[in-house]
Chains A and B, each alone.
Chain A
Amino acid sequence: MSSSTSSTKMVGVSKLGKRYKIAPRGTRPGTLTENILATLRGKQPPKEDFWAVREVSFEVHQGEVVGLIGHNGAGKSTLLKLLSRITEPTEGQIALYGRVGSLLEVGTGFHPELTGRENVFMNGAILGMTRKEIQTRFDEIIDFAGPRVALHLDTPVKRYSSGMTMRLGFAVAANLNPEILIVDEVLAVGDAEFQKKCLGKMQEVAGSGRTVFFVSHNLAAVTALCSRALLLHGGQLHEDGPVARVAATYQLMARSGTALGGDLTHAQRTGTGAGQFLSLNLQPFAPDGTPQPLVYNGSTLQLELTVKAEQVLTDASVTLWIADSNTYRLIDCSSALHGKLVRLEPGETARVRFTLGELLLKPGLYTLGVSLGRPEIEDIDTIDFAGTLEVAVDPEAAQAALILPGAYTCRYKTEIIPGSELPEGLTVNTSRQAA
Chain B
Amino acid sequence: MTETKPLILVRPPQGLAALNLHELTQYWELVRTFAQREIMLRYRQTALGVIWVVLQPLLTAGIASFVFGKVAGFSQGDPAFFLRAFSGQIAWTIFGLSIFKISTCLVGNSAMLSKVFFPRLTLPVASTLAAQMDTLVAFAAFVLLMPFFGVAPTLAILTIPLWFAALATMALGLGMMMAALMVSYRDVQFILPVWLNSLMVFSPVQWPLAKMAGKLGALGTLYFLVNPAAILIEGFRWSLMGGALGIAPWQVAYAAVMSVVILLLGLLIFRMQERRFADVI
| Chain B window 1-44, contacts with chain A (Cβ cutoff 8 Å), 1 for yes, 0 for no | 11110111111110000000000000001100110010011001
Shortest Cβ gap from A169 to chain B (Å):
11
Chain B residues whose C-beta falls within 8 Å of the C-beta of A100 in the assembled complex: 8, 117
User: Is there a chain B Cβ closer than 8 Å to A122's Cβ?
Assistant: yes
The reply to whether B111 and A108 form a contact with Cβ atoms under 8 Å apart is yes
User: Is there a chain A Cβ closer than 8 Å to B278's Cβ?
Assistant: yes
The interface on chain A, measured as residues whose beta carbon lies within 8 A of the other chain's beta carbons, has a size of: 44
User: Is there a chain B Cβ closer than 8 Å to A300's Cβ?
Assistant: no
Chain A residues whose C-beta falls within 8 Å of the C-beta of B114 in the assembled complex: 86
The reply to whether A118 and B116 form a contact with Cβ atoms under 8 Å apart is no
Chain B residues whose C-beta falls within 8 Å of the C-beta of A99 in the assembled complex: 7
The reply to whether B12 and A89 form a contact with Cβ atoms under 8 Å apart is yes
Find residues 1-44 in chain A having any chain B CB closer than 8 Å to their own CB. Answer: 5-6, 8-9, 12, 20, 31-32
The reply to whether A91 and B12 form a contact with Cβ atoms under 8 Å apart is yes
The reply to whether B8 and A85 form a contact with Cβ atoms under 8 Å apart is yes
The reply to whether B6 and A86 form a contact with Cβ atoms under 8 Å apart is no
Bound CA span A95–B10, Å: 6
Chain B residues whose C-beta falls within 8 Å of the C-beta of A127 in the assembled complex: 116
Shortest Cβ gap from A129 to chain B (Å):
9
Chain B residues whose C-beta falls within 8 Å of the C-beta of A95 in the assembled complex: 6, 8-10
Chain A residues whose C-beta falls within 8 Å of the C-beta of B109 in the assembled complex: 109
Bound CA span A187–B116, Å: 18
The reply to whether B112 and A114 form a contact with Cβ atoms under 8 Å apart is no
The reply to whether B10 and A89 form a contact with Cβ atoms under 8 Å apart is yes
Q: B7: which of A20, A92, A96, A105 is its contact (CB, 8 Å)?
A: A96
User: Is there a chain B Cβ closer than 8 Å to A154's Cβ?
Assistant: no
The reply to whether B116 and A109 form a contact with Cβ atoms under 8 Å apart is yes
The chain B residue sitting closest to A7, CB to CB, is B1
Q: A84: which of B2, B117, B275, B279 is its contact (CB, 8 Å)?
A: B117
Q: A125: which of B13, B33, B184 is its contact (CB, 8 Å)?
A: B33
The reply to whether B115 and A105 form a contact with Cβ atoms under 8 Å apart is yes
Chain B residues whose C-beta falls within 8 Å of the C-beta of A87 in the assembled complex: 275, 278-279
Shortest Cβ gap from B273 to chain A (Å):
12
The reply to whether B10 and A93 form a contact with Cβ atoms under 8 Å apart is yes
Chain A residues whose C-beta falls within 8 Å of the C-beta of B44 in the assembled complex: 113
User: Is there a chain A Cβ closer than 8 Å to B45's Cβ?
Assistant: yes
Chain B residues whose C-beta falls within 8 Å of the C-beta of A319 in the assembled complex: none
User: Is there a chain B Cβ closer than 8 Å to A56's Cβ?
Assistant: no
Bound CA span A413–B109, Å: 54
User: Is there a chain B Cβ closer than 8 Å to A355's Cβ?
Assistant: no
Known A109-B116, A114-B37; judge A81-B10 contact (CB<8 A).
Answer: no
Chain B residues whose C-beta falls within 8 Å of the C-beta of A85 in the assembled complex: 8, 10, 117
Bound CA span A111–B109, Å: 10
Q: A93: which of B3, B11, B181 is its contact (CB, 8 Å)?
A: B11
Shortest Cβ gap from A14 to chain B (Å):
11
Bound CA span A19–B3, Å: 30
The reply to whether B40 and A118 form a contact with Cβ atoms under 8 Å apart is yes
Known A96-B8, A108-B112; judge A20-B279 contact (CB<8 A).
Answer: yes
The reply to whether A97 and B10 form a contact with Cβ atoms under 8 Å apart is no
Find residues 160-217 in chain B having any chain A CB closer than 8 Å to their own CB. Answer: 181, 184-185, 187
For chain B, the bracket of interface size reads: 35 or more
Bound CA span A84–B30, Å: 17
Bound CA span A9–B37, Å: 38
The reply to whether A9 and B1 form a contact with Cβ atoms under 8 Å apart is yes
Chain B residues whose C-beta falls within 8 Å of the C-beta of A86 in the assembled complex: 113-117, 278
Chain A residues whose C-beta falls within 8 Å of the C-beta of B223 in the assembled complex: none
Bound CA span A91–B112, Å: 25
Bound CA span A12–B181, Å: 34
Shortest Cβ gap from B26 to chain A (Å):
10
Find residues 99-145 in chain A having any chain B CB closer than 8 Å to their own CB. Answer: 99-100, 102, 104-105, 108-109, 111, 113-114, 118, 121-122, 125-128, 130-131
The reply to whether A12 and B6 form a contact with Cβ atoms under 8 Å apart is yes
The reply to whether B116 and A113 form a contact with Cβ atoms under 8 Å apart is no
Q: B12: which of A20, A90, A105, A130 is its contact (CB, 8 Å)?
A: A90
The chain A residue sitting closest to B33, CB to CB, is A125
Chain A residues whose C-beta falls within 8 Å of the C-beta of B34 in the assembled complex: 125
User: Is there a chain A Cβ closer than 8 Å to B254's Cβ?
Assistant: no
User: Is there a chain B Cβ closer than 8 Å to A82's Cβ?
Assistant: yes
Chain A residues whose C-beta falls within 8 Å of the C-beta of B113 in the assembled complex: 86
User: Is there a chain B Cβ closer than 8 Å to A94's Cβ?
Assistant: yes
Chain A residues whose C-beta falls within 8 Å of the C-beta of B149 in the assembled complex: none
Q: A126: which of B12, B116, B278 is its contact (CB, 8 Å)?
A: B116
The chain B residue sitting closest to A8, CB to CB, is B2
The chain B residue sitting closest to A179, CB to CB, is B7
The chain B residue sitting closest to A52, CB to CB, is B279
Bound CA span A118–B9, Å: 33
The reply to whether A82 and B33 form a contact with Cβ atoms under 8 Å apart is no
The chain B residue sitting closest to A124, CB to CB, is B33
Bound CA span A128–B34, Å: 13
Bound CA span A93–B8, Å: 10
Shortest Cβ gap from A87 to chain B (Å):
4
Known A31-B187, A109-B112, A109-B116; judge A88-B12 contact (CB<8 A).
Answer: yes
Chain A residues whose C-beta falls within 8 Å of the C-beta of B112 in the assembled complex: 108-109, 126
Chain A residues whose C-beta falls within 8 Å of the C-beta of B29 in the assembled complex: 125, 130-131
Known A108-B112, A122-B37, A127-B116; judge A9-B2 contact (CB<8 A).
Answer: yes
Q: List 5 A-B contacts (CB under 8 A).
A: A9-B2, A82-B10, A88-B275, A96-B7, A104-B115
Residues of chain A touching chain B, judged by Cβ–Cβ distance below 8 Å, are 5-6, 8-9, 12, 20, 31-32, 81-82, 84-100, 102, 104-105, 108-109, 111, 113-114, 118, 121-122, 125-128, 130-131
- A100-B8, A131-B33 known, 8 other contacts, Cβ within 8 Å: A8-B4, A32-B181, A90-B12, A94-B10, A109-B116, A111-B37, A118-B40, A125-B30
Q: 6 smallest A-B Cβ distances: which pairs?
A: A95-B6, A94-B10, A125-B33, A85-B117, A96-B8, A32-B185
